[in-house]
């Protein structure tokens, strides 16, 4: 056989060798847990993070944007959650199974609505016009709107936690992170001040 005739076979061989390596490299970062583990972790979260659990259930029932909730074991532990343009939200199962430093029920609610905010952004903004900064900004805005609704219904905790951690993160020097860049702008704007005014007027002081 001439060498050129071998090319298709070689390409198939390369694909078969390379594709699984690429897939396993991704899996090293985030491995979906089996469905029994996922169910048990979500049920555990109902006790540990009741407000978060209610928010998840409500969105699953009412918001068609969330196509799939995928619980993963995230090898790198690079945050509790992520959202994808295909409508999937990925949650690191560790955050549901046991309390992680700095993440209580209120903050988990903020995290979850942040990811739903990304899904809204993916749906409303054509791919060519999306930017990481605008995506983060949309996610933060959405989490503020959603947690303000909770505050109006009597639970100020998530809104207070969101405002607190957004301000904290806005002070980071990690300007390579689009979250930080979006927050540096957000906390300077009247909308953020308005949320703070709302909390000062209507919410009890945080312990
Ligand atoms: Zn984000």
Tally of domains within the chain: 1
- In a domain, residue 13? The reply is no
Q: How far is the CA of 61 from the centre of ligand 1 (A)?
A: 22
- In a domain, residue 61? The reply is yes
Say how far apart CA 88 and CA 187 lie, in whole Å.
28
For residue 12, give Cα distances in angstroms to 18, 19, 116. Answer: 10, 10, 39
Look at residue 100 and give its three-state secondary structure: strand
Q: How far is the CA of 118 from the centre of ligand 1 (A)?
A: 7
Strand partners, 90: 70, 82
Q: How far is the CA of 113 from the centre of ligand 1 (A)?
A: 10
- Per-residue pLDDT of 124-151, as tens digits, reads 999 999 999 999 999 999 999 999 999 9
Domain that holds residue 88: 31-202
pLDDT-derived band of residue 204, with 50, 70 and 90 as boundaries? confident
Alpha helices of 63-131 — where are they, by DSSP H?
A: 93-97, 105-124
pLDDT for res 98? 84
- In a domain, residue 7? The reply is no
CB 195 within 8 A of CB 152: no
- Per-residue pLDDT of 21-31, as tens digits, reads 334 444 446 88
Q: How far is the CA of 82 from the centre of ligand 1 (A)?
A: 7
Return the closest-CA partner of residue 144 out of 119, 170, 165: 165
Say how far apart CA 93 and CA 108 lie, in whole Å.
12
Q: How far is the CA of 121 from the centre of ligand 1 (A)?
A: 11
Q: How far is the CA of 131 from the centre of ligand 1 (A)?
A: 12
- In a domain, residue 25? The reply is no
- Per-residue pLDDT of 55-103, as tens digits, reads 999 999 988 899 999 999 876 767 899 999 999 999 999 999 888 889 9
Return the closest-CA partner of residue 103 out of 161, 172, 171: 161
Phi (first) and psi of residue 65, to 5 degrees:
-70, -35
> pTM score, two decimals?
0.84
Return the closest-CA partner of residue 114 out of 155, 162, 167: 162
Q: Around ion ligand 1, which residues have CB less than 5 A away?
A: 136, 139
- In a domain, residue 16? The reply is no
- In a domain, residue 97? The reply is yes
Q: How far is the CA of 116 from the centre of ligand 1 (A)?
A: 9
Q: How far is the CA of 119 from the centre of ligand 1 (A)?
A: 10
Q: What proportion of the chain, given as a percentage, has pLDDT over 90? A: 73
- In a domain, residue 10? The reply is no
Return the closest-CA partner of residue 91 out of 127, 142, 55, 121: 55
């Amino acid at each position: 056989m001439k060498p050129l005739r071998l090319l298709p076979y070689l390409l198939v061989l390369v694909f078969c060798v390379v594709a699984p390596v690429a897939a396993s490299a991704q899996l090293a970062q985030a491995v979906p847990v089996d469905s029994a583990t996922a169910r048990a972790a979500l049920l555990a979260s109902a006790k540990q993070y009741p407000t978060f659990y209610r928010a998840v259930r409500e969105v699953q029932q009412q918001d068609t944007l969330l196509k799939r909730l995928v619980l993963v074991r995230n090898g790198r532990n690079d945050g509790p959650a992520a959202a994808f343009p295909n409508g999937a939200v990925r949650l690191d199962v560790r955050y549901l199974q046991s309390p992680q430093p700095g993440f209580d029920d209120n903050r988990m609610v903020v995290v979850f609505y942040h990811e739903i905010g990304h899904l809204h952004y993916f749906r409303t903004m054509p791919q060519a016009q999306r930017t990481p900064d605008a995506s983060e900004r949309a996610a933060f805005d959405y989490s503020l709107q959603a947690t303000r609704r909770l505050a109006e219904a009597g639970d100020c905790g998530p809104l207070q936690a969101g405002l607190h951690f957004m301000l904290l993160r806005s002070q980071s020097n990690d300007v390579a992170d689009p979250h930080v860049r979006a927050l540096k702008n957000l906390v300077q704007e009247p909308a953020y001040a308005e949320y703070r005014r709302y909390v000062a007027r209507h919410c009890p002081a945080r312990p």
